[in-house]
């Protein structure tokens, strides 16, 4: 039986959420530059994130955390979550918002998924606030 599937529903949801949060945070730190992406750097970011921010981590028994099968199953889960993030296309509203901001600010960022679009909307809005007027 799968170790991951043996955990409570709440912990499984929290694990998925922590993978998503850590991945999006890592990608934001590298400006969603896929050439800069490093699986080992992301794993370090995820481990730091779960130890500092994930409430589920303390709820998983030590014997489970120390089981190599648990880590193998987590690796599979991480790959599935990351693939899902990349497969979610930006919404029409996101596309329109980014296009309008880029036209206004004279930028030309490419984006291909909903999470990346969300990042660029936030990034461009912050850029606009900091840009000198005039």
pLDDT tens, residue by residue, 45-94: 999 999 899 889 999 999 999 999 999 999 999 999 999 999 999 999 99
State yes or no: pLDDT of 118 exceeds 80: yes
State yes or no: pLDDT of 116 exceeds 70: yes
Which string of b and e fits 53-79 if b means at least 16 CB within 10 Å? ebebbeebeeeeeeeeebeebbeeebe
Own/partner pairs, 53-57, CB within 8 angstroms, 24+ separation: 53/18, 53/21, 54/14, 54/15, 54/18, 55/14, 56/10, 56/11, 56/14, 56/15, 56/18
Return the percentage of the chain with pLDDT > 90, whole number.
90
Nearest Cα to Cα of residue 114 among 90, 86, 92 = 90
């Amino acid at each position: 039986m799968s170790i991951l599937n043996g955990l409570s529903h709440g912990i499984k949801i929290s694990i998925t959420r922590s993978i998503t949060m850590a991945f999006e945070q890592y990608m934001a730190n590298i400006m969603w530059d896929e050439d800069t992406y490093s699986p080992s750097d992301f794993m370090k970011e995820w481990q730091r994130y779960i130890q500092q921010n994930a409430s589920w981590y303390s709820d998983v028994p030590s014997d489970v955390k120390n089981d190599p099968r648990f880590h193998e199953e987590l690796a599979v889960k991480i790959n599935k979550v990351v693939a899902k993030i990349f497969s979610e296309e930006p919404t029409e509203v996101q596309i329109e918002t980014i296009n309008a901001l880029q036209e206004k600010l004279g930028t030309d960022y490419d984006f291909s998924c909903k999470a990346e679009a969300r990042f660029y909307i936030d990034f461009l809005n912050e850029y606009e606030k900091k840009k000198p007027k005039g």
